Amino acid sequence: MAADSMVQLVSYLAAQQPGEINGTPESEWVDFKSVSPNGPYDLSTDKGKFELAKDVAAFANAGGGLLVCGFKAKKRPNELYEVAEKATPFDKKLVNTDSYKDILTEYVRPLIKVKFFWYDHPENAPETSGHYFVIEVPPLPESDRWAMVTRGITDNGQFIKNSWTIPIRNGDTTAFLPQDEVYRLLNDGLRARRAADTTVPAPEPAADRVKAREILRAALGLEESPVLFFQSVPDRPRGLVPGMYAGGGLRDILSNQDTLRSPHAFNWSSEYTHPAPREGGLLLTDAPRRGLQVESDGGVTGAVSATGEMLGWAMERYNDGSGVRRINVFVLTEVTLEYFRLINRHVLPLVEGVWTHRIVASDFARPPGRVLASGEDPVFPFVGHIEMATSDDWNHSWRALGDPERDAYEALRCIYALFGLDVSVNPFVDGDRVSAAKLLEKGKRLETGQ
C-alpha cells in the first residue's frame, strides 16, 4: 500500500494505520525522516539546524509538503526514489517544538509558518510503540518566493557566516538555486518593480463558490432560513472527477455512508432520498434539514438548516417565544465531524494537491437570531449563559488538514468565533481536535434516555 497525496497520508496516520504508508516514495510533497537518539534533527549541531531550515525552505519553494518523522526510507533496486519501508515511531521527548520554531525563525527568510502534529502508533502493536511527528510546510505565494536559509554550511557541518542558500525540492532530493539563476532573478525583480502596474486588481479569494451555496439553498427550500454551509474545493481543479457514477464511486459512497451512529443521527446520510446526477456531479437533499452537492471537479458544498429541524434540534424549550433560536451544541459538533469524515476520506483523495475548507454562516444574526452557549447543552430548567451571533455573512476558510477530527476543530473554531466564544468551551473538543469518542458517549446517553 502507499499514500498518493498529503491528505491520504495524514488520514492513514490519523486512523493509526502507519503500515499503509510503507511503499510511499519520497517526492516533491513528502520527505521521510528516521529518528536518531537526538531526534529527527539534532539541533545541538549546526548541521542539524541547517537540515531543518533547508528542508522547510525547500518545501515552501516547491509548493508545500510534509516532513514525516518516524519512517525509514530506502531506495530499492530499479526504483528512482527512496521509499518508506518501515515505521519507526519514537518518544515525544525527542522533539521540542519550541526549539524547532526558534531555529526556523532565526535561519529562514521569510518566516514560514509551519504546523506541527503528533500522531499515535497503534497501542496494540506488539513490535513497537511511540508516535509520529509531522511538520506541515505551507507553500510560499509566487510573489514571495524564494525562501532562503540565512547560513551556508561547510563539508564538516559548520555554519558559514555571511552566507545564504536557496534550497529547492527536486523530486525526492533537495538542490540549491545556482548563482547565475539567483543573479537573473534579482535583475528580473528590479525590472518588474520598475514596471509594476499598481492598477492591476488583486485576485479573488480562492475556493469561494457562492453560486454552489445558492443552488443548494434553493434545492432545500431554505431561502428564508439561516443556514450553515460547509465547502471543500481543490485549489487547482483538474476537470471531471473519475468514477463519479461507477460502482464503488462517490454515488455509492453517498448512498451508503459510514456514519458514527445510525443514518437517523446528525450526519449527511438519508434513508429516504438518493444522490441524483447533476451537471456531472451529485446532489443529495434531505429538505428541510440538510443537503450535499458534489460538483463535477470534486468541489463539495454542504448545507444544514439552523432551525429546529437540525441545528436547533430539541432546543424549543429554550426560546423566548419568537422562534427556535438556540443552537444545539451536540448536533452542531456531530454534523461537523461527520462532514469531514465523509469528505476528507472519500473526496479529497480524488484530486491531488491542496484543498481549501470553508465555513459560511448565513443569516444567523437576522431576527430572531441564533444563539450559542459555552459547555454542554442545558438541562431543563437551567438555561445557561448564551451569546448572540454577530454577523449575517460569516465566511472563513483554511487549508485542509486531511485529518477529520482536526478539520472539524478548525470549523468549530470559526463557528464559535461568530458568537464571541472560544472553541475550547465546546465539551466535545480535546486539545486541537474534535473527539469522536466523546460524541459517541453522548450519543449513547441520548439513545438510552440518560
Do 252 and 218 lie in a common domain?
yes
342 and 415 co-located in one domain: yes
Q: Which three cell numbers stand for residue 110?
A: 521569510
Cell numbers at residue 205, please? Answer: 479569494
- For the cut 90, the answer to whether the pLDDT of residue 327 exceeds it is yes
Q: Is the peptide bond before 275 cis (omega within 30 degrees of 0)?
A: no
The answer to whether residues 176 and 218 belong to one domain is no
The secondary structure of residue 245, as a DSSP letter, is S
Using the predicted structure, report yes or no on whether residue 130 has a pLDDT greater than 70: yes
Cα 115 to Cα 134: distance, rounded to the nearest angstrom = 8
Contact yes or no for 298/343 (Cβ under 8 A) = no
Number of domains in the chain: 2
Q: pLDDT for 58-102, tens place per residue?
A: 999 888 899 999 999 998 776 678 999 999 999 999 999 999 999
Instruction: Write down the H helix ranges in 248-287.
Output: 250-255
Tell which of 184, 218, 233 closes a domain: 184
Kindly state whether residue 197 falls inside one of the protein's structural domains: no
If you average pLDDT over every residue of the chain, what do you get?
A: 88
- Is residue 343 domain-resident? yes
On whether both 168 and 242 belong to a single domain, the answer is: no
Q: Is residue 100 part of a domain?
A: yes
In this structure, are 178 and 103 located in the same domain?
A: yes
Say if 143 falls within a structural domain: yes
Q: Is residue 199 part of a domain?
A: no
**Are 12 and 139 within one domain?**
yes
Residue carrying C-alpha cell 459555552: 374
Q: Which of 205, 152, 201, 145 has the alpha carbon at shortest distance from 176?
A: 152
pLDDT computed for residue 302 by the predictor: 98
pLDDT band at 379 (very low <50, low <70, confident <90, very high): low
pLDDT digits (tens, 9 = 90+) for 164-200: 899 988 777 888 877 777 777 667 665 655 555 454 4
Same domain, 283 and 429: yes
Q: How many other C-beta atoms lie within 10 A of the C-beta of residue 53? A: 27
For 96-111, b/e burial (b = at least 16 CB within 10 A) is eeeebeebbeebbeee
Cell numbers at 418, concatenated: 461568530
CATH of residue 150's domain is 3.30.950.30
- Tell me whether strands 290-294 and 300-305 are parallel, antiparallel or unpaired: antiparallel
pLDDT at 229: 98
Question: Do 57 and 176 reside in the same domain of the chain?
Answer: yes
pLDDT tens per residue across span 217-268: 999 999 999 999 999 999 888 888 888 999 989 999 999 999 999 888 999 9
Q: Answer whether residue 1 is part of any domain.
A: no
Per DSSP, 138 falls in state P
Contact by Cβ (8 Å): 46, 157: yes
Shared domain for 64 and 151, answered yes or no, is yes
Q: Are residues 287 and 419 in the same domain?
A: yes
Cα separation, 337 vs 353, whole angstroms = 22
Asked whether residue 326 is assigned to any structural domain, the reply reads yes
For residue 380 the three cell numbers come to: 431543563
**DSSP conformation class of 73:** E
402: left (phi over 0), alpha (psi -120 to 50) or beta: left
**CA angle at residue 444 from 440 to 448, to 5 degrees?**
170
pLDDT in the model for residue 314: 85
Evaluate whether residue 222 is within a structural domain: yes
Asked if residue 214 and residue 175 are part of one domain, the reply reads no
Beta strand pairing call for 71-75 and 148-149: unpaired
Question: pLDDT confidence of 435, banded at 50, 70, 90?
Answer: very high
Q: Which of 202-211, 241-250, 377-386 has the lowest mean pLDDT?
A: 377-386
The pTM (predicted TM-score) of the whole model is 0.61
**Other residues' Cβ atoms within 10 Å of the Cβ of residue 256:** 10
Q: Contact 149/104 with Cβ under 8 angstroms?
A: no
Residue 82 and residue 223 share a domain: no
Domain span at residue 124 reads: 6-184
All three cell numbers of 318, joined, read 429554550
